[in-house]
Amino acid sequence: MGAAPRPQLRLGPRLRRRSPRGAQLAPLIAPERAPASPSRPGATAQLPCGAMFWRRRRPPATEAFAPRWRDLLEERMALWAQLDPGERRDLEATALWLLATKRWEASHGFTLTQDMRVTIAAQASLVVLGLGRDPYRIVSAIVVHPSTVTLRGERAGPVPGTVTQGPLPILGQASDERGPMLIAWDAVLRDGAHPERGMNVVHHEFAHKIDMLDGYADGVPPLGDRVTRRRWDEVCGATFASLRAGRDHPVLRSYGAVNLAEHFAVATEAFFNRPVDLVDHEPDLYGVLADVYLQDPAARARRWEASRPPAGP
C-alpha cells in the first residue's frame, strides 16, 4: 500500500499578496553585540530614516582581473576555494562588470578602497554564476558603510499599518526599483570568512534585487523553466509558515519569518553558505533554489571536501 499523498499547503491572501511598487523592504537587522568595525571600533553611523550621505567615487575602469585580487579572495572569501577554474573565470568577469558599470559610494568620512569593492563584487558574483549578469541590471549603486548603520526617524512598524521612530541598527538594505543598496563593510569581511555561520549580507541584499526584477519584493524571483510557480509557492510557503509558527529550522535564520521577501533572502544565504546542511534539512527548498540559481553548491562543497588531503592524526 502506497504512502498517503502529502497535503498541499494552500497559500492564503497574506502569502500571495505582492508588495506594491516602491514599497520598502525590511532592512537586514544587525545581531546584538555585532563586532565593531576594525578601523573604527564601536562606531555606528547615525542616519535619519531614508537619508543617505556619501561621497561618490567611481572606480577606474579595468579590463583584467588583477592577480593580486585572487590572493585577496583567497584570504577574504572562503567559498573561493571551492570554485573550479571555469567558475572562477565567470565570477571574475561578472565582478569586473559590476566594478565598471555600478556606482560605488562610501558613507561620509569612510574611505572605500578598490580592494573593498572587489571583495563585495566577488561575493555578489557568486550568486549569479549560473545566471549571468542580467539579474543585476536594476542594481544602480552600492553604498558602503564601515559598520552597523542606525536608522532613525519615522518608518513602517513591525505590524502592517503601524509606524515606529525607534533607532534600528542594520547591516544592509536594498531599495526598491533602481535605488541604492547599503552594505556594512565589517559584516562583509566577517561573513565572507565564515560561511559556516550561514549569514552573508552581500548575498542577502543582492538576492533582494533579484527578487525585485518584476517590480515587486514578494519573495518570488524569476523562476525560469525548471520550477513552476505552484511548486515554488508550495515549498517556500511551507517553510515560511513553519518559521512563522516558531518551529525549529537549524539552517534557516528566524529572520526569514518577517515576510516572504526576507524568507527568500535568508534561504539564499543558507543555499550558498551552508548548502550541504540545507540539502540535508530542507531538501525541497534546496531543490527549488537550485532550479532558480542554476547551481548546485552542495555538490561543489562535497567535491572540494573530497579533494582536500586527509587531516593528520
User: In sequence order, what DSSP letters do the residues of 185-254 get, joined into one string?
Assistant: HHHHHHHHH-GGG---HHHHHHHHHHHGGGS--SS----TTTS-HHHHHHHHHHHHHHHHTT---TTS-G
pLDDT of residue 157: 57
Structural contact between residues 183 and 173, judged by C-beta atoms closer than 8 angstroms? no
Residues 180 and 147 occupy one common structural domain:
yes
pLDDT band at 171 (very low <50, low <70, confident <90, very high): confident
At residue 156, what are phi and psi to the nearest 5 degrees?
-60, 140
Tell me whether residue 313 is in a domain: no
Which of 213, 242, 258 terminates a domain? The answer is 213
Residues 201 and 122 occupy one common structural domain:
yes
Tell me whether residue 3 is in a domain: no
At residue 33, what are phi and psi to the nearest 5 degrees?
55, 40
pLDDT at 159 over 60: no
Tell me whether residue 94 is in a domain: yes
**How many Cβ atoms from other residues are within 10 Å of residue 19's Cβ?**
19
pLDDT at 271 over 70: yes
Which of 213, 239, 255 terminates a domain? The answer is 213
C-alpha cell at 131: 545566471
pLDDT > 90 in the chain, percent: 65
Tell me whether residue 1 is in a domain: no
pLDDT of residue 165: 66
- Listed residue (245, 228, 235) closest to 286, CA to CA: 235
The CATH number of residue 243's host domain is 3.40.390.10
Cα atoms found within 13 Å of the Cα of residue 211, Cβ hemisphere only? 29
Residues 63 and 39 occupy one common structural domain:
yes
Cα–Cα–Cα angle for 99, 105, 106, rounded to 5 degrees: 130
Residues 276 and 300 occupy one common structural domain:
yes
Residues 182 and 134 occupy one common structural domain:
yes
Which of 213, 242, 273 terminates a domain? The answer is 213
Residues 154 and 46 occupy one common structural domain:
yes
Cα atoms found within 13 Å of the Cα of residue 198, Cβ hemisphere only? 18
Structural contact between residues 298 and 276, judged by C-beta atoms closer than 8 angstroms? yes
Residues 298 and 246 occupy one common structural domain:
yes
Given the C-alpha cell 553548491, which residue does it identify?
Answer: 297
Rounded mean pLDDT, 102-120: 94
Tell me whether residue 19 is in a domain: no
Tell me whether residue 71 is in a domain: yes
Residues 30 and 143 occupy one common structural domain:
yes
49: containing domain? 24-213
Residues 166 and 44 occupy one common structural domain:
yes
Cα–Cα–Cα angle for 193, 194, 200, rounded to 5 degrees: 90
pLDDT tens column, 72-108: 999 999 999 999 999 999 999 999 999 999 999 998 7
Tell me whether residue 312 is in a domain: no
Distance CA 201, CA 138 (A): 18
Residues 70 and 147 occupy one common structural domain:
yes
Distance CA 151, CA 30 (A): 11
- Listed residue (227, 257, 223) closest to 239, CA to CA: 257
The CATH number of residue 118's host domain is 1.10.472.150
* Number of domains forming the structure of the chain: 2
- Give the C-alpha distances (Å, rounded to integers) separating 239 from 6, 218, 267: 15, 15, 10
- Give the C-alpha distances (Å, rounded to integers) separating 213 from 23, 101, 183: 14, 18, 20
Residues 87 and 190 occupy one common structural domain:
yes
pLDDT of residue 6: 36
pTM: 0.79
CB under 8 A, 24+ apart: contacts of 85-91: 87/129, 87/300, 90/125, 90/129, 91/122, 91/125, 91/126, 91/129
Residues 235 and 141 occupy one common structural domain:
no
Tell me whether residue 250 is in a domain: yes
Compute the CA torsion angle 292, 118, 73, 272 (nearest 10 deg): -20
pLDDT of residue 170: 65
